[in-house]
Amino acid sequence: MNALRTLAFVTNADKSGAVELTRELLTLAKAAGVKTKHTIRLAIARGWLTGCDACCVIGGDGTLLGVAREAARAQVPIIGVNRGSLGFLTTFSADEARAQFASLLRGEFNLAYRSLLACSTSPSRHDIALNDVLIKDQVNSRIVRLEVFANDQLVTEYTCDGLIFSTPTGSTAYNLSAGGPLISPDAGVIAMTPICPHTLSNRSIIFREDVRLRVQSNNPQSTLLIAMDGQRNLVSGADTPIEITISPLKLPLAQRLDYEHFAVVRTKLHWSGGFIERK
């Protein structure tokens, strides 16, 4: 990666210490001769990242998710600095960002290209998601009856509270909470996990990344809510199929040169254990 010449900052001002950390990093960037731009608006406008070499997002994973769509469209790498809780996506701590910022400005980081989901309800109504696409009834208390097709072949009909379609990146988010599998971020797959299915044998299904999924409601009275990364919503009537595929776009995500995904997973999920000596 070449040295950064123009760096954007997106700061979640509601996160403790985020504004102060931003000031520190802005000062370091300007001292190194790097042009900067800054916003505390979490829903950045289309085109705002044009001409930037990278975007430093200071907040939590939710803050990064709000920037991911535009960063993927502009192919601008995101440097995520965690001021939230878990921080699976914002992999730099505040101390790491301070200590390594000079080398980051020199372009000394790796890029991981994370897959995105594309979801559409019509040619004019579509969106992309880094973590997941959630399909549920617009009325929270109602169950849904959904048919799922993979490449036009029926998978099954679900009676459940909703369906989660997850990228490998999103496997540590809602998918994991709903009992879905953890997936290595470079795996070329989509995970489908039902939420509270009425048939106990309904479990997560893993599809190849070239699959074309179609979801249809079997309840003519139902209006479906489609949540993209838990932040942006589409609405679909019962007679409107929902199509989900892997997007041709990928999100460039900056990582430390010594980054290890499962080291992060072990830390964030508090995994423990060691070798058992056998006698």
| CA proximity to 136, closest of 207, 193, 183, 189 | 193
User: Does the predicted TM-score (pTM) go above 0.85?
Assistant: yes
| CA proximity to 25, closest of 84, 98, 96, 105 | 98
> CB atoms < 10 A from the CB of 68, how many?
27
Query: What's residue 237's pLDDT?
Result: 81
Query: What's residue 221's pLDDT?
Result: 83
Query: What's residue 82's pLDDT?
Result: 95
Domains of the chain listed by start with CATH number: 6-109+256-268 (3.40.50.10330), 116-248 (2.60.200.30)
Q: Which residues are catalytic?
A: 61
pLDDT means over runs of 10, the chain (279 residues): 95 96 97 97 93 97 96 97 86 94 96 97 91 93 94 96 97 96 96 94 95 94 92 86 97 94 88 63
d(CA 58, CA 60): 7
d(CA 277, CA 27): 52
178, amino acid identity: A
d(CA 125, CA 175): 24
Query: What's residue 273's pLDDT?
Result: 64
| CA proximity to 28, closest of 36, 16, 18 | 36
Query: What's residue 173's pLDDT?
Result: 95
